[in-house]
Amino acid sequence: MLRAEASTQRVNNRTARDTWFDHIVIGVAFALLLSGFRSVITGNDWWITTILVAALTGLACAVLRAVGLRWVAPIAIVVELLALAWIFVPGTLIGIIPTWDTFRELGHLASAAQDIIIEEQAPVAAAKPVVLVIASSFGLLVIVADVLLQRRHAASGIGLLMLSVFATPALISGDTPSMWLFVVVAALWLVILRSRTALGGTLARRQRGPALVLATAALAASIAFPLVSPDVSAVATSWGKPPPAVFGRGINPMLELGQNLRRNGTTTALTYTTGLSEAPYLKVATLRNFTGKTWKPGTNQQFAAPEGEEALKNNPAIKVEKESTTITIRQLKTTMLPVPYPMTKVTGLEGKWLDGFGLTMISTDDDTRGQTYSVTSLDVQPTATQVRAITTSPSDLLLQEETKLPDKTPAIIEETARKVTEGATNEYDRAVALQDYLRNDGGFAYSETAPVADGYDGNGVDVIAEFLKKKSGYCVHFSSAMAVMARTLGIPSRIAVGYAPGSVVGIKDGQNQYEATSDDLHAWTEIYFAGVGWVGFEPTPSIGSATSFTEPGVPSTNTDEGEVASNPRGAVREETNNVDSTGATTTESSQTAPRTALITFAALLLLVGIPALLRWARRRWRFSRAASSVEPLWRELEDTARDFGVPFSPTDTPRGFATRLGTRDGIDHEALNRLLQRVERARFARSAVREGDGIDDLRAVIDSLHRAASRKEKWRAIALPRSLAGRRAYVPDGPLQPVSTLG
């Protein structure tokens, strides 16, 4: 019998008690790991269900193993399926026998879960489909762990399994994973490692080195990932996962805006090139109906004041240019199309798209994914004199909705509006005064988190009053405040939701190419001027630029979202949403996606390369110690041979191992024999070999191993060296050469 086979047998003879112990430890580890998913799922009872399913599955595995049945994993999967059916769709079972309905119902739940995963942001509510997904996943994990435990080299596999479960919630939610959880789970893993080790204490200690290094690397990686790379989810989505929905179907975009802005991680929503003199704001929805609590979208069924070309029809004196903007959607899923305002025509869309309210486009059965389209829009350039002359009648029936205020409005809103616009004589000057007050003069600070922290997030009148006092908020508050203040002055106003212009990322077809990311999600205010239409204003500090019209002859900015030339866009983008009221920096958003992807790629490469790196470092270290002893060299030879798939047993004699190694093709026998002499004399003879240090011989043997190995073996030896798993017996399939013979 061969040494390696014998130690295999010993592992196989492990007592049942040990196996039970391992199962229990892994069960505890999974239960702890489950707690990490609290950042992904809200509610409480989901984890009870999950533990129930996992426990039933684990029990099935254990009982099947105890009985000695084969095919444990398939049977356990059936048991898990029954458990899921019993918990989630009990009505469809006949006794415990699943029916066709069972599978159909489970299928429905699964597809519902898929929708939730695609459309909702973490944390999601613990709805039935979500619980089904997590419970079935953990059940499967238990089965995989059980299968792994039957194998000799299970510990590393189980470690990877635990690590992936540990990292999953962090990758989904972007939160930094709990250090304590990691430490506890890593400790449990070491317990398993200890108990799985074939030859007891000494070898287990030897394994702890690489185990700890791997664990530390994994911890560092999982903590560093969300910090270094806010774009992990972007990279993940670019690998084929559908992008997150920004504006879900039929849901108020205003309500989602803050949540989307506060989300960790920047995704590139779209890129575009434009013939407009300034990069346009891209509108996806228009909100006209202010209930006092929130803003609601308008619909085409309602009366509305003329806008765009229709509004300009009777005013030929105003300078208007038509320009085209070509937009490519990257990672954005919504049924409302981002378009510059006011648009006249869209070409290149796939699917069925309809005109939406406020010169937008919507689809009832398609979404923006994968779309590239061209939008023709107007560049309306009235002079300041022209626009100052306009007075819009507040009693215009078509503008009823846009001037309506709730019955009770806190006095501070109108008081502030009146104070700010004191001295302004026309609608345009009042609007500019309101914009400047919120944007520059009023001492307001941009913060995505302050309103949430102080409990006044939202856009109702009370929130606006609170915002005017606290003077801290984000675009929703600024735009909503300006719109409501304008209405208190009798100026028709509404809110536009979409993307701020974004930043230049390159040049395409002779035009600047812009990129709008999820951080550019924005809301701004539109004010109506009779004979011109709706004009956007930018009350939010440090985003875009303030709207102002100039006299003829002076270089003008565009009429829609005019931008002061002295305010370079790059600088503006830098400040976006970084500063909250306390001045603390919250997130780093200046990174562009390609760079982040590069960092992520480098990090992944590093992770993949860790085994090779460790192996290399170990070899270097052993070579450096070769002068004083031959032992490191021999250990290195054993390890290298093992990396190349040469069978190995920790009870091998040097000669036995060399004999087996010598049976491989192309081995440099002379060098191997010299090395063998060296180690044997060092270990067993009165005097060791004196001359040289044997490194050259070792190199020669390793080189000959390399030369004779297949390409696959070489890669395997470099990327996944077996020797890192510790000095355990390794017996591949197939017959072995005898280790020792008499004579």
How far apart are alpha carbons 179 and 740 in whole angstroms? 51
Least distance between other proteins and beta carbon 649 (Å)? 8
State the minimum distance, in angstroms, from the CB of residue 646 to other proteins.
17
Q: 394 vs 656, which CB is nearer to other proteins?
A: 656
CB-based contacts of 60, cutoff 8 Å, min separation 6 = 75, 76, 79, 80
* Those residues with Cβ within 8 angstroms of residue 13's Cβ, 6 or more apart along the chain or in another chain: none
Cis check for the bond before 123: say yes or no (omega within 30 of 0).
yes
Token couple for 445: 């600070």
Instruction: Collapse the DSSP code of 473 into the 3-class scheme (helix H, G, I; strand E, B; otherwise coil) and give the result.
Output: strand
DSSP annotation string for 137-187:
HHHHHHHHHHHHHTSTTHHHHHHHHHHHHHHHHHHHH-PPPPHHHHHHHHH
Q: Work out the end-to-end distance of the chain between its first and last CA atoms, rounded to an integer number of angstroms.
A: 17
Which CB sits closer to other proteins, 111 or 651? 651
Give 410 or 662: the residue with its C-beta nearer to other proteins.
Answer: 662
- Residue whose token pair is 């254990």: 62
Contact 155, 189 (CB under 8 A): yes
Q: Which CB, 595 or 683, lies closer to other proteins?
A: 683
Query: CB of residue 11 vs other proteins: minimum separation in angstroms?
Result: 12
Q: Secondary structure of 206-255 in the HEC alphabet?
A: HHHHHHHHHHHHHHHHHHHHHHHCCCHHHHHHHCCCCCCEEECCCCCHHH
Q: Which is nearer to other proteins, 225 or 657 (CB)?
A: 657
The residues with which 325 forms a beta bridge, in sequence order, are 274, 375
8 A C-beta contact, residue 138 and residue 58: no
Is 596 or 649 the residue whose CB approaches other proteins more closely? 649
At 529, which helix (H) or strand (E)? strand 521-529
Q: Which residue, 1 or 397, is less far from other proteins as judged by CB?
A: 1
Smallest distance from other proteins to CB 35, Å? 42
Residue 294 token pair: 């929130």
State the minimum distance, in angstroms, from the CB of residue 13 to other proteins.
Answer: 11
User: What torsion do the CA atoms of 193, 199, 202, 207 make, to the nearest 10 degrees?
Assistant: -40
Q: Considering the complex, what minimum distance in angstroms separates the CB of residue 196 from other proteins?
A: 18
Pairing of strands 295-297, 503-508: unpaired
Residue with Cβ nearer other proteins (36 or 726): 726
- Return the number of the residue (242 or 656) whose C-beta is nearest other proteins: 656
Closest CA to 572 of 617, 540, 536: 540
Kindly tell me which of 80 and 652 has the beta carbon lying closer to other proteins.
652
Min dist. Cβ of residue 673 to other proteins (A):
13
Minimal distance, residue 587 CB to other proteins, in Å: 55
Cβ–Cβ under 8 Å, residues 269 and 246: yes
Alpha helices by DSSP H, listed for 351-442, are 384-388, 400-403, 411-420, 427-436
Residue 711 CB, nearest distance to other proteins (Å)? 33
Instruction: Output b/e per residue, 383-417; b: 16+ Cβ within 10 A.
Output: bbebbbebebeeeeeebbbbbeeeeebbeebbebb
Q: Which lies closer to other proteins via its Cβ, residue 683 or residue 707?
A: 683
Q: Which is nearer to other proteins, 580 or 680 (CB)?
A: 680
CB-CB contact of 294 with 255 (8 Å): yes
Q: 163, 267, 164, 172: which is closest to 211 by C-alpha?
A: 163
- Closest approach of other proteins to the CB of residue 681, in Å: 7
SS3 491: coil
Q: Closest separation between CB of residue 717 and other proteins, Å?
A: 24
Distance of closest approach, residue 739 Cβ to other proteins, in angstroms: 8
Q: Which is nearer to other proteins, 471 or 681 (CB)?
A: 681
Quote the least distance from Cβ 731 to other proteins, whole Å. Answer: 12
DSSP state of 36: G
Shortest CB 70 distance to other proteins, Å: 25
What are the Cα distances from residue 622, in Å, to 593, 616, 619, 705?
42, 10, 5, 19
* Least Cβ distance, residue 205 to other proteins (angstroms): 15
**Cβ-based nearer residue to other proteins, 519 or 680:** 680
- What CA–CA distances, in Å, run from 75 to 63, 82, 84, 432, 596? 11, 11, 14, 72, 44
Q: Using DSSP bridges, classify how beta strands 493-499 and 282-290 pair: parallel, antiparallel or unpaired.
A: antiparallel
Q: How far is it, in rounded angstroms, from Cα 702 to Cα 480?
A: 72
Tally the C-alpha atoms within 13 A of residue 165's C-alpha that lie toward its C-beta.
Answer: 28
Question: Between residues 4 and 530, which has the closer beta carbon with respect to other proteins?
Answer: 4
Which residues bind to other proteins, rule: CB under 8 A?
1-3, 5-7, 10, 199, 631, 649-653, 655-656, 680-681, 683-686, 739-743
d(CA 196, CA 188): 12
